[in-house]
Chains A and B, each alone.
Chain A
């Protein structure tokens, strides 16, 4: 297609063929400096700083491209030990939701814009009135895993010690409660033992109810960096992207995982794969466990899981025959009706085969939210601030002492859980609710029932970036919050790495960081006396350090935010003693030495290298319980088992942020969809992309049918990001963790007649 013209006609050619000009120059790239390579000229930075991402618990490091201190673009940070220069599309688009046109600009009282003074006054007056009339159990807080640890601690301390209310929970109940309870009971502390390098160090990786290709792409990156030619086993009813990429996919019946795990344990005993040295030295309860699983013979397990006996042997052989086996689980396990025991059954497998504390091993929970791990330590919800126990006088005294508050401000009983808060709202015992950075109207299980309860509240306060979330639209008082990128603080990622987020954007209008909103509300409540020292996130970080002293997550060795930035985040524990230790190598076995300085922690560390767990006897426990049937099995009227989960890597939870990016919107379906097996679809005369009606005992919704053999016949799958989905789900809970069982309920499907 080159136009051939004589050389002398060059000027003419220029006129005829424009290789440059104003439109071409819009896309010009030039060296960006700061190690960035080429960047778009119009977005070239004059400085660069880093922050960890604010979506999921992977905790990727992002390089923020600044102009006059204001972030104009970002890229993934090659130096950060988590993501090594990569990010998922949400990370790449992290700044975009800040520019959304529907950001909250002022507080809204009964839908009308008011000043902060009025809003804070209304908050204090109305909450106090409810508390005075109905007692400390009549107001509750629903917090989040999406705000920085310093804000979580402030919120928990203010709500419980300042406002004096008893009940508080967080959306981490929806994602991580099971892992937290399972670890606490098995290990003596909620301590995910792994480091991401374990993905690279395993010979066998077993993923249960986990789809990292979509939910945690950067963790999958680390799996792909494994040079040991690993076997990858995916246990999931669906043939997910991860199942497709695995070497072994076990498409079990929904929620037959506990039976499967007990069956595998029995097979491992049969095959003589138990590491008795480890079991005897470091665990308790093995004998009882071994006796308990006698009944889970391969024939029974095959019958109940739908896997062949040969397949069961194959998987057991993989686990038995390899030096380094790591087990990874995510929401498919955590969100089940017997999830805690399922997570512990995974832990049991790791313990009995001695796959613990060594590179490439472990029973490892992949966390959901960016700061679920911070919430688990500092939310002050069901445990006392900093992983303490409000029932223990010593813990009460320690916390009261560090915070400089009277001990009697600490409520002695633990708070009720999320589901019980909703239940108490429904029956009128809770009349005031304060919701921060979460969206229960969409995300809570059986959401129509949840919304009917929310309607009954005397006073609903929602603090969020957007007044347009399903929940914020119901609020009596809306408080406009600054988002990630508009404030400072720290997150703790899934491998216990504490990382810093920074203020690189001005919040729009009068939006304030949650931290500053809390300062304001504390001031309005009682002059803020108790929180005089809580002047900045970094000041609070100092308090958190003190609270961590002597705890399993002791991070008193971390000096300040700058040190966290310099080191590429620091995994807990990193105590002052470790930081000053002569070798600079803590117990916990370094995977990879960091820089030479004695005070630098190694870049990757795991727990339990010495086999010492956090129970007082130093041993881990084998915990188990007989499996229970599904709360809502399928039947003739509702013949499909509805599975739910993450849809695409471009969506986050209720899509309040990811829905604000044009690019991310291009990368996920705009309307609710349901995946159905082609054989079922043929019986129902449903074609690919037809509109269909899905009905459960709770609700009826519409969706677009996607025909795929990646779901099994008799099952269907709907991504949770669409508001319709939780109208269908059944409110059932694991009895130990009270985590909702989102993953299995009964529905029927019919073609919508067009």
Chain B
């Protein structure tokens, strides 16, 4: 709720002999706020009993624990689904009583539908942060901006610690953390921890007209969901993060229950800085690897190629900073090394940048005898860095970001772009070029076959992503195909021509190849529909 900026004074009394017209009088009246004076005898009384409601009234004591959690215990939301009927007051109240930004909401209400045969069934589901026993947001955060409070178990987000990398958004399978572009950070539900400390109910608990949301206490080690169990139908496997929330119902849930928005196609954020970062770093690693192979084979390595590989790497790393909402805190990345692939990626790429600088130095000073070792080290570090990149996405458990697909994608980029770039900078070199073309054909064919199979198989874990690609991202997919054919054509021309013409064709091949990989990375992000709690609103 925002404060309206001060209004210009438009209804001042006209001066002198000008008549005070009815319009002036009415406008002046309209601008005078008198509720406080007129109803003062009443407003000063403060609260006079009645229903459940704000503050520490006892109307909701049955929805609150008698005492705070003891050692090894934590607070949890307990939702009585029999009482949740989808009014969504919890969402609005949380927004107003916590002073969130206009478009920010920490709660959501979705619905699950079932009973295609037999009696129709539907269930609305209020959901917020589940304050997991094993929070994926916290383990993914590179700067330890999440903290599972020792005394309450509440998963708190430290707003001033956050660097706005949004990895927690990708990590949370319930779509809980919300990014604020305005602030450059993520924010999320803190279970109204300050209210709990004072014995007040959280905003959503206060505001539920049917008392469907309660705060209870649970032993953290008792939260041991079996693999494959879900909070509600359509939600993510609870074994992943061990969510603390308990959904209760006395009504049997039909076997065919599924989220109301099942099959909804969402085009996710493209994350342009990440698209470029991944493409450029993988190009650089590929080129370094190609150069290392050359050097280890005892062949001369042109300095320009080393400089190019280093330059491309630095550009990729520089552009990645644009992804951060508050990059100045990123130096704290080491705090997450124990659990976060994002931290490990930052470390790996820092090491790679060091190696690349060393390689460039060696090239600059003509230290050719160290070249095989330095380039070999650089290539290994680079391949390890790409592995951390793969793991960042695999670790989110998004179906489209499964390990084989992501690894083939990223290392496929390393191989095709690396060999393609090597072909271009080495002369052009037709054997490198042919290798690149062959790899490209393999990679493209494999990816296309995978998408087709996922599209045709309704049970494929990433069927929805395949549908997004074929139905919503058709233009990108078709452009990718066109670039693939263009690349092969240019490559073929480079193979059959010679001299300058061949160099130009090789450069064109490389450009088409690079553009194709950028588009593929765009699909990688936009088609990666993430899991979330059951929706139902968005159409």
Contact = CB atoms under 8 A, between A and B. Distances in A.
Nearest to A82: B51
23 contacts: A1-B146, A17-B335, A18-B158, A23-B162, A27-B159, A69-B34, A70-B3, A77-B50, A78-B47, A79-B51, A81-B50, A89-B88, A92-B207, A98-B4, A213-B86, A214-B85, A241-B122, A503-B35, A506-B4, A506-B33, A565-B39, A648-B88, A708-B113
A512 B26 contact: yes
B363 to A, nearest CB: 37
Nearest to B33: A69
B454 interface: no
Interface in B1-49: 1-4, 7, 10, 21-23, 26-27, 29-31, 33-36, 38-39, 41-43, 46-49
A87 B537 contact: no
Contacts of B148: 1-2
Given A80-B50, A92-B207, 16 more contacts: A1-B141, A19-B160, A20-B160, A23-B162, A75-B54, A75-B93, A76-B54, A78-B51, A78-B59, A87-B93, A89-B91, A98-B4, A117-B23, A217-B209, A516-B29, A666-B91
A683 B227 CA distance: 37
A47 B51 CA distance: 21
Contacts of A96: 1, 102
B159 A23 contact: yes
Contacts of A29: 98-99, 192, 194-195
Contacts of A512: 26-27, 30
B54 A486 contact: no
Interface in B509-539: 537-539
B87 A519 contact: no
B263 to A, nearest CB: 4
A116 B23 contact: yes
Contacts of A21: 159-160
Contact of A35 (B46, B109, B122): B46
B52 interface: yes
Nearest to B336: A1
Contacts of A596: none
A516 B260 contact: no
Interface residues of A, number: 128
B96 A92 contact: yes
Contacts of A633: none
Contacts of B436: none
B10 A510 contact: yes
Interface in A36-67: 36-43, 47-50, 63-64, 66
A42 B87 contact: no
Interface stretch (A136-144, A165-173, A668-676): A668-676
Interface string A494-505: 000000001111
A413 interface: no
Interface in B410-467: none
A230 to B, nearest CB: 14
B26 A520 contact: yes
Nearest to B141: A1
Interface in A87-102: 87-89, 91-93, 95-96, 98-99
Q: Which 5 residue pairs of A and B lie closest in terms of their CB atoms, listed nearest first?
A: A84-B51, A85-B53, A35-B47, A78-B53, A40-B99
A273 interface: no
B53 A77 contact: yes
A41 B47 CA distance: 20
B537 A667 contact: yes
B315 interface: no
Interface of B: 1-4, 7, 10, 21-23, 26-27, 29-31, 33-36, 38-39, 41-43, 46-57, 59, 82-83, 85-89, 91-93, 95-100, 102-103, 105, 108-109, 113-116, 119-124, 135, 138-139, 141, 144, 146-148, 150, 158-162, 183, 185, 187, 190, 192, 194-195, 198, 200, 206-211, 260-265, 332, 335, 339, 471, 537-539
A220 B10 contact: no
Contacts of A673: 539
A27 B102 CA distance: 13
Contacts of A687: 263
Contacts of B92: 87-89, 91-93, 650, 663-664, 667
Contacts, number: 353
Contacts of A754: 471
A566 interface: yes
Given A221-B210, A224-B209, A648 B161 contact: no
B54 A36 contact: yes
Contacts of B262: 688
Contacts of B150: 2
Contact of B36 (A27, A49, A561): A49
A239 B51 contact: no
A292 interface: no
A213 B210 CA distance: 10
A85 B54 contact: yes
Contacts of A87: 89, 92-93, 207
A89 B195 CA distance: 21
A634 B93 CA distance: 43
Contacts of B144: 1, 3, 17
A112 to B, nearest CB: 18
Nearest to B264: A689
Contacts of B120: 239, 708-710
Given A92-B96, A220-B85, A504 B35 contact: yes
A86 interface: yes
A729 to B, nearest CB: 20
B50 A1 contact: no
Given A1-B148, A43-B1, A504 B33 contact: yes
Nearest to B340: A1
Nearest to B60: A85
A298 to B, nearest CB: 22
A539 interface: no
Given A669-B539, A689-B261, A27 B339 contact: no
A562 interface: yes
Contacts of B113: 707-710
